[in-house]
Chains A and B, each alone.
Chain A
Amino acid sequence: MYAVEITNLTRRFGEFTAVNAISLKIKTGSIYGFLGPNGSGKSTTIRMLCGLLAPTSGDATILGLDIAKDSEAIKHKIGYMSQKFSLYDDLTVIENLKFYAGLYSLSQPEGKRRIAQMLALAGLENRQNELAANLSGGWKQRLALGCSILHNPPILFLDEPTGGVDPKSRRMFWDIIYTLSQAGTTIMVTTHFMDEAEHCDEIGFIYNGGLIASGPPSALKSSINGLLLEIPTPEPMELLAAITSRQLPYLDIYPFGANLHVLIAEEHASRYTPFAANLISPSLEDVFVHLVKSHRKEVLA
């Protein structure tokens, strides 16, 4: 039922706690999005699950295998791709793929078949004899993904796979992720793009090393109580100051691009009519901003 189960997973680097007692479960075959700002502990968590880092405390199992005891067995069942291109620049596309086919001990015909599939998946059929160094960001990313799923792993860990990649390539990349997910692969992906997070079956928000919320995107959005108003303005900060100085009631207020977002209780809606405010449904970013702010308040209180 659950491909990944994490219980109180913690990792400290000296005094610094990078990951603080995270617990979560990922359903088999789902896409789990791990969201959070840089340095919040996303990568550290994934690196522990892949056996690159040992946890300081806590447990995790992958397909029922313990990450501390069965790390070698786990390596056959996972694919991992990180934000940094980690293939060989001085090997060609096909040489990189053949190398990883060998590392996963694929048989000759099986390797050939899978490499052909990966080339097709990544759209690299016509570039197989080019050095990896000559590929641009999006192509490199797809090659790296191809190498990490050659052995058809039931679980795939993607650590900011679309960092530094143009929007078109990002979309292509997500198409591949969907295809894999439909074929039954469980995927855990970290990102800080909110639009990517919308595509996930379930999301975990991680902030300062702790998991502050998790659930399907729709559930997270409906967890926000109150009405969310969007006020278009070229100067959101000034409007924010104006509203606070007038002591208008609100639950939360924050600038959002060229808009000001104000979360209010239903009964106060009339107070905001002069601002030409639009009633909107919260995006994941609204959810995240709100969660972070209330988390901070909790910590301060």
Chain B
Amino acid sequence: MIRLKALLIKEFIQMRRDRLTFVMMIGFPIIQLLVFGFAINTDVKHLPTIVFDQSLSQDSRDFIASLTASQYFDITDASTSYQDVTDHIQSGKTKVGIIIPPDLSANLKHGQSAAIQVIVDASDSMAASSAISAAQMVGQLKSQEIILNRLQGYTGKTFALPVDVRIRPWYNPDFVSAFYMVPGILGIILTMTMVMITSMAIVRERERGTLEQLIVTPLKTHELILGKIIPYVFVGYAQATVALLVGILVFDLPIRGSLGLLYGLTSLFIIASLALGVLISTLSKTQMQAMQMSFFIFLPSILLSGFMFPREAMPLFFNWLGNLLPLTFYLQILRGIILKGVGLSVLWTQILALVVFIAIVLTISIKKFQKKLA
């Protein structure tokens, strides 16, 4: 215990002396949350749109008005030729082109199907899928309205839609992106800082030659590893608190579940990330290698954990790969507690996964480290 205490005091003194790193550890989450919380919006609205209206009728104006009213399309240009539409999309001035045929009104009047062409720049797939579903929705609503009107005209009765789909988006009814993003960014920030700091920790001592002096003392391997982990648990908690405060104060993030549980489980994730960092530290010989290996963890953490892209859409292998990352489980815990307000009865599998992860990674680290002494 005396040895571990000495190591902890030393780590805290070193942390305090390294002002820049310390400021960054706390400033980093605030800046990232503000930037990404405001900047990233998965619901792509207000796409610049060019309209080539050859009909120039009341019907075409109605349709265009419905598109604008959906907020997904901003009509920025009116065109007079097909070529003009192509040029605008090609040059990126507009993302969507809408072409209304000259016979729109005539076809509608005679009860024939009127074709409206919607060209979408699908080189940006997220924007494209937003535009496509919005355009489809507007078209279907318009069709329903016309059919109902016609039926009413023929029969003189009012009709209700035979199937009325009523959608209730639970947990985030207004699709506020920040609600989805803030917990995710919290997880990413913790992963990056925790893995990076600890991956440097032991390697730095190795590079400076101080590790050699530690090895000839009676300090035990597990004491050394604990001494490198415990101080940063505090840093992790400081980061999580800062991030949650920004989420609540700036983005009105609701905490629907138990804050105590959230904090408790955050410690599991922090320890898992620190353990991962320690493993990297025992595997690498230089700080440069440690840095590169850390990045090898970061990218999958961002892409496969469900932070950016839904894991349901991933092929089985990559879905499985994502299960090797602690962030995958922590995101489920975060979103579960913050947005859905669920508790232990739901989250126990994620907790179990994190505990198993910590046990395996720490065991390998201690084994690996002892071998490197020899």
Contact = CB atoms under 8 A, between A and B. Distances in A.
Nearest to B3: A103
Interface in A249-278: none
Contacts of B13: 90-91, 95
A105 interface: yes
Contact of A103 (B18, B208, B209, B214): B214
A113 interface: no
Interface string B354-373: 00000000000000000001
Q: Among the interface residues B10, B14, B219, which one has the most CB atoms of the partner chain A within 10 A?
A: B10
Nearest to B213: A86
B7 A102 contact: yes
B59 interface: no
Contact residues of A: prevailing secondary structure:
loop
A158 B209 CA distance: 15
A78 interface: yes
Interface in B1-44: 2-3, 5-7, 9-10, 13-14, 17-18
| Size category of the binding interface on chain A | 20 to 34
A99 B209 contact: no
A88 B2 CA distance: 19
A106 to B, nearest CB: 8
Nearest to A71: B373
A76 interface: yes
B218 A87 contact: no
B14 A90 contact: yes
A54 B215 CA distance: 13
Interface stretch (A45-53, A172-180, A284-292): A45-53
A78 B216 contact: yes
Contact of A86 (B2, B9, B209, B374): B209
A191 interface: no
Contacts of B215: 51-52
Contacts, number: 75
Contacts of A188: none
Interface in A44-103: 50-54, 72, 75-76, 78, 80, 82, 84-91, 95, 98-103
Contacts of A148: 213, 216
Given A80-B213, A86-B209, A101 B6 contact: yes
B17 A82 contact: no
A260 B53 CA distance: 106
A178 to B, nearest CB: 23
A61 B2 CA distance: 28
A50 B216 contact: yes
A75 B2 CA distance: 16
B217 interface: yes
28 contacts: A50-B216, A51-B215, A51-B216, A52-B215, A52-B216, A52-B373, A75-B217, A76-B218, A80-B213, A82-B213, A85-B209, A90-B13, A90-B17, A91-B10, A91-B13, A95-B10, A98-B6, A99-B10, A100-B6, A101-B6, A102-B6, A103-B3, A103-B218, A104-B218, A105-B2, A105-B3, A105-B218, A148-B216
